[in-house]
Structure 1
C-alpha cells in the first residue's frame, strides 16, 4: 500500500469514519503513521484488594460468587457487585451498562481494571474493563497507546487503524547516514515508527522516540539554515529614515520606555534604516512591553510612506491590538489609519478592508491568518510583524512576507527560551531581548498549595469578584478520562457554579470549541460580563484583561514550568495586585521542588533555565511545554540536549556538503526535499 493513499483505503474506514479522522488532521495513511500517541497505558499485574491505591488505575483478579445486582435510581441503571479476598473488599460499579450483568457469570474468574476511588470511606472501582485472566495476561507489562480522540472516534478505533496501517505500509528507505546513527545510537526509521505506536516497554519507547525527535529537529534546522542562506545580506527595497512623528509619539507616552525597550527599539530602527532586509526576533517576558516597540516600528514604516502588518495568533488578541493602536493614535493625534482583518468578519467587511489595503488607505493592517489569504493585496508592504512566533510555522511567516517585495520581518515571542536554545531555533533571525519589566508593575504573589486548600481558594476568588475583579481557573483536560486522573474543564465549571455565589458568572473555554464560540467567550470575559473563566491552556496566548487578578491552576504538576509561567502571565497586567494559586495534586518526590521555582521567581528566563536543569531527557510523560513549533514529538525543553547535538550535526553536514551531492547523502537529500516541499511551500527553497 502506498502511504499517500487516503485513510479510507484502510479496511473498515468508510466516508463517515474518514471524516472523523480528518478532524484530527489525518487524511492519508502517512498522516496516520505520523499521528503519535499522546500517552501510554502500562498494564501491571493484578494486585490484592488491600494493595489498591486511591486515584490509581489498577487491576484485581476475582472469582464471581453470585450474579451482579442491577439497581435503578435517578433515571440511572447501576450494575454493582462486591469483590472480596483475604485482604479486603471492593465494590465494582457500571453506570447505564445493564448488559454487564448478563456478561458476568457466577463461578468464572475475571480481571477487573479501572480507576479506584473512595466514596463514603469505601473503595469503589467505577466503569472497569473486564478481561479473562488469559487475555489480561497477554497485556501485562505491555504499553498500550492512547491517542488524541474526537467525538465518535475512540481510542480502540484509532489503535485498530494504526495496527492495519503498520502491517500494510510501504517501508521507508533509511535516509539518516549510518555514521550519524551509530554516533547517537539511533534506531532504524521503520523500527522507530512501529515502536512509537506499540512499544513493548519503556526502553523501547525511549529508543523509538529518540530517533523521531532527532529527525524532527534535524529537518527543522536544515530548513532554518536554508532560510538563513536565502536571506543572507539581502538588500532592502524599504530603507527608512527617522521621522518627527515617531519621536513626538514616543515623547507623549505617559511612561518612559525601560532601558531594555529602548535598546531593542534602537536595534529595530537600525535594521529598518540599514539597507538590508531585517529578520529579527524580539524575546520578551510576559508583560515586558513588546507591543509598544512593535507599534513604534509600524509607525516608522507608515511615516516613511509604507504599509506595515501585524499578525496575531487569535482573533481576540488581533482585535485588542487594533483597538489599543487606534486609541493611541487618536489620543496622540497620529494621522495614520489602522485596519482590522479577521476570519469572522462578514464578506462585505472583508471586501471593504481589502479595498482600503490595496488603495493604501490603510497604513497599518492588523489581523490573524486572514492576512495571508490570496485576496489580500498590499500596495506597499514594508514591515511584517508576527506576534507570538511559536504559534506560527515558518511557512506562514514567509507567506506573509511574500505579500511584499521582501519586507522587513519582526517576530515577537513571549516564550522565555534560554538564549543558547533561541540561537539554534531561530538561527535565521537576529535576536533582541527585553529583559526588564516596566516600572509600576506589582509582582504577582504566588503560592503552591495542596488539594485541601481549594475551599479557601474559592472563597478568595469570590472576594476578588466582589471587589470587581476577575479570575481564571486552568484545568489540564477538557473532559473526564478513565485513565488520567486530572481536573477537567466541563466538570470543574459545574462544581464552581455550585461553590461560588449565584451572582458570579462562570463560563468555560477549551480548544475543541468552534472559533466563533471561543471568540464570543473571550470577548465577554474581556468586557467583564464573565467573572470566572474555567479553561484549558488555550488562554496561554490570547488576551489582555487587566482586570483579571487571580490565576488558579489545577494539577499544576502536570504542566512544564515554562507553560505555567506563560499561564501566570495572563494576570498582573493592571495596577491591582495579582495572585497565582498553583494546586499540586501529586505526592511525587521532586514535584514541590520544581513548582517552588515558580513560587520564588516571576522571571521567565530564570524559570526556563532552571526547568532545563530539572527535567531530564527521559521525562516524556509530562505535558509538552514549547507550544507548536512545528514538532509532533520533540520538546525544546525536555529534549534540549538532543537539539544541541542536532544543531552541531546539521552545521557539520551542510558545511561539508552544502547541496548533499555525495552518494551517502542521496537518501537524506530525498527526505529533505520532501520535507521542505511540504513545510515551506512557495518559499522557493
Structure 2
C-alpha cells in the first residue's frame, strides 16, 4: 500500500492536529481511513419537487413521502395550552412551505436559522388555512451553493454520519464533504487495486479508484449502485476466501479411518421402528453415510423443521459409528432435553446391547465418576449431556462421532473443545431453527448442508388462526369441546410474574383464573422457568400421561417431549413473541395424525390488522416494516407453516445479529454487505472464492497475487479468523 495513504489525516487541508484527534476518536486515523468513510445516505434530485408541484400532489390526494428543498425565511415558537410548538417557514423558487414540531422545540430552534437551506422529507399536508405543511419531517442541511448546483444539475448530495466527536470541532455536513473532496482530489491516485483484473472483468466492476469516487460523489444512481455492488462483493469475497481455505485445508490435511456398515445393526434397528422414514430422512442419511464412508471427517449441518425427525437420523448415524467400534457424543443445550433424549434413546435401543450414559450437572459425584471411567474405558458408546461433557476431565477412548443439537446455543470454543476430545471425529451439527439462505452461505460456508424438508407421513399441517382478546370465552369453549375428543391443550403466557411495564398476563396469575373460572371442569397444570428441570420434566410426563387436560405454561415448552394428544396451543400476547419462537411453540402440537390447532391471541386492533392485510416486503419501506413488525409476524404465522419461509421473513425483520444472538452468530461486523438482502452478491462472491481456492489453495499463481496480498494485509486479523473457526 502506498505510504501516502498511510499518512495522518492532519495533513489534509483544513484538518490539522486538533481535528485529527476528533477523527481518531471515531476510528479515522489515516487518509485511507477517510477515503473509506462512505456516506450513510444520499439526496437525489429525482426524489425532490418544487413547492407548487407538492401542492398539486396533495390536492390530488397523494399519500406518500416527498422531498423538497427550501431556504428558511422565518421561525417562531408558539405556545398553545402550555405547550411549545416550533414552526419554520421556508421558500423555494415557486412558493412557501412550513415545517412544524411539537416536541424538541429548543433543539429545532437552534438548528433552523434564517438564510439556511434544508432538504426536507415527510408526508405533506394542507392546513385549514391552505398552507403546505410538513409535520416532524426528516431534514438535511445543505449550503446555498450545493442547493443551486443540486437543483440545476441534478447532482446527488452525500450525507455522512456525524458523531459528536466531529461536531465538537465544528465539522458539519458541508465541511466534511469539502474535506473528503480534497482528499479524493489529492490522494485517490495512490489507491491500489484490491481485486485481480480477471474478477473485475468477469463481474463488470469499476476500478477501485472509480468505485470510491462514485461512492462519495456519484453523478447518477446507476454509477452509485455499480460502486456499491463492487464494495459489497469485495468485502464478502475475502470472507468467503477464508471460509474456502478453512474447508480446503481441513479436508486436505485430515485423514480418518472410513466407516463401513459392517453388521446388520442399522437394519435390525430400523426393523424395530413403528414408523417409516420419510424420503427426505432417507436422502439425508444417504448423504451422511457417504460422508462417514469417506476418509475425510464429516463436517455436516443438518437443518430440519420442528418435528421433522432429525433426532432419529442422528441416532442412526451413531449406530453406524458404533458398528465401527467408535463412541458417540451428543451435546444438547438443556438438562431436561438431555434427559429426554437419554430416555428416548434407551427405549429405542432397549433390545440392543449398547451402553448409553447421561452426563449433566445434577448427576451425583459417585455416579459421575463411574460414567467418566466408563467413557475412558470405551464401554460407554453413546454419551448424552450438556456442557458437562466438554469438561477437561472427560476423556474418550475412541470418539468417532460428535452430534451437536441446537448448535447455535453453543459458542465456537465449546464446539471445538468437544471435537478435540477425539482424533478427527466426524461432526454433525443440527438445528431446528431454519437458517436463511444468505446466512447459511456466510456462517456455514465451510459445512456441507443437509435439509429435512418433509414432515412424517400422515401429519396434517397445524391450523393457525389469530383471535382478538375479546374472543377468549369462545376459545375456552373450543378447548372444552375438543377435550371430549381426547385433545389436550397448551396455554402459553409470556412471563412468570406480572410486569406493569409490559402489561402482560402472568402465567401464575392466570393459571388460577383458568383453573377456577374459565375451565373449572378440566384438570389444569402449570409449568414455568423457575422450576428445576426435574420438576419441569415430571410435569411434562404427567401431561403426556394425561394427568392434566390443560398445561398453562411460559416458553419453557418451546423444546420438549412429543405429546401426541396435545393438539391445541393457545399463545397469549402473541405479538410479544418473535417469529422463530412462535413457530417453535407451534411445533409442540401436531405430533400425531389428528388435526392440530394453534390459536394466536392478541389485542383487538392488532388482530384486525393482521387478519386483513397481506404484507409483502417488496412493497413496504423500511419505515413501514418497522411500524408494522408485530402485524407482519402474526400475518406470516397464519400464512406459512414452513419454517424456512418463516425464517426468511424473520431474518428480514430482525437481521443476522438477532437470529442466534450476536456473540453466537459467528459473523464479523460487515460494513458494506447486507446479509439479509444481498443474496445474489453473496452467492456470486462465494462461487468465485471457492473456485479460486480449490484450484489454488495457497494463492501462489501470479493471477491471485492481489488476493493473497489483501488477505494478509487486511483480513488475517484474529477477530475474523476466530469468527469462522
Structure showing greater radius of gyration is 2
- Structure 2 residue corresponding to 1:385, chosen from 389, 398, 403: 403
User: Aligned pair in 2 of structure 1 residues 543, 383: CA closer, same or farther (>3 Å)?
Assistant: same
Which of 497, 522, 535 is matched with 2:554 structurally? 535
Question: Secondary structure at 2:459's aligned position in 1?
Answer: coil
For 2:320, the equivalent position in structure 1 comes to 300
Which of 498, 513, 516 pairs up with 1:498?
513
Partner of 1:357: 375
User: Which residue of the partner structure matches residue 665 of structure 2?
Assistant: 629
* Alignment: residue pair count: 497
In structure 2, the CA distance between the partners of 1:409 and 1:650, relative to structure 1 (3 Å rule), is: same
Q: Are 1:603 and 2:603 an aligned pair?
A: no
Contact 1:458–1:499 (Cα < 8 Å) also in 2: no
Q: Aligned partners of 2:360 and 2:688: how far apart in 1?
A: 43
Corresponding residue for 1:7? none
For the pair 1:274 / 2:310, whether they are aligned, the reply is: no
Q: TM-score, normalised by structure 1?
A: 0.60
Specify the alignment match of 1:315 in structure 2. Answer: 335
Query: Tell me, what secondary structure is at the counterpart of 1:447?
Result: strand
Shift of 1:377: 0.5
Structure 1 residue 626 displacement after superposition? 5.2
- Give the distance between the partners of 2:668 and 2:532, measured in 1 at CA: 27
Give the superposition deviation at 1:545: 3.8
Provide closer, same or farther for how the CA distance between residues 319 and 223 of structure 1 changes in structure 2, counting only shifts above 3 A. farther
TM-superposed deviation, 1:339: 0.6
Shift of 1:422: 3.5
Note if contact 2:496-2:528 (Cα within 8 Å) is conserved in structure 1.
no
Q: Give distance in 2, aligned partners of 1:487 and 1:395.
A: 39
Query: Which residue in 1 is equivalent to 2:433?
Result: 415
Tell me by how many angstroms 1:446 deviates.
1.8
Does the 8 A contact of 2:496 with 2:506 survive in 1? no
Is the CA contact (8 Å cut-off) linking 1:563 and 1:626 kept in structure 2? Answer: no
Which residue is equivalent to 2:586?
A: 568
Structure 1 regions of 5+ residues with no counterpart?
Answer: 1-29, 31-60, 64-83, 86-107, 112-130, 143-161, 168-175, 189-209
Corresponding residue for residue 114 of structure 2: none
The answer to whether structure 1 residue 447 and structure 2 residue 469 are counterparts is: no
TM-superposed CA distance for 1:224, in Å, is 4.1
How far did 1:259 drift?
1.7
* Partner of residue 118, structure 2: none
Q: What are the equivalent positions in structure 2 for 1:170-569 lying under 5 Å apart?
A: 224-233=243-252, 234-330=254-350, 333-417=351-435, 422-461=440-479, 467=486, 469-475=488-494, 480=499, 482=501, 488=504, 491-501=506-516, 504-505=523-524, 507=526, 509-510=528-529, 517=532, 520-528=535-543, 531-536=550-555, 539-557=557-575, 559=577, 561-569=579-587
- Map residues 24-39 of structure 1 onto 2, 5 A cutoff: none
Matched residue of 1:231: which SS?
Answer: helix
Cα distance in structure 2, aligned partners of 1:294 and 1:479: 41
1:669 aligned onto 2:715: yes
Distance 1:350 1:620, change over 3 A: same
Distance in 2 (CA, whole Å) between partners of 1:640 and 1:478 is 35
Task: Report the Cα offset of residue 285 of structure 1.
Answer: 2.0
Q: Which has the higher helix share?
A: 2
2:105 & 2:709 partners in 1: Cα distance?
A: 54
Decide whether the 8 Å contact of 2:568 with 2:589 is kept in 1.
Answer: yes
- Give deviations 1:624-662, integer Å, cap 9, x for gaps: 44565346999xx99422465356556767848968986
Q: Alignment partner of 2:429: what SS?
A: strand
* Pair 1:328–1:436, CA change in 2 (3 A): same
Q: Please give the secondary structure, in 1, of the residue aligned with 2:567.
A: strand
RMSD: 5.0
Normalising by the residue count of structure 2, what TM-score does the alignment of the two structures yield?
0.57
Sort the Cα spacing of 1:252 and 1:526 in 2 relative to 1 into closer, same or farther, 3 A: closer
Gaps of 5+ in 2: 1-26, 28-76, 86-102, 112-135, 139-162, 169-192, 196-206, 217-228, 616-630, 700-705
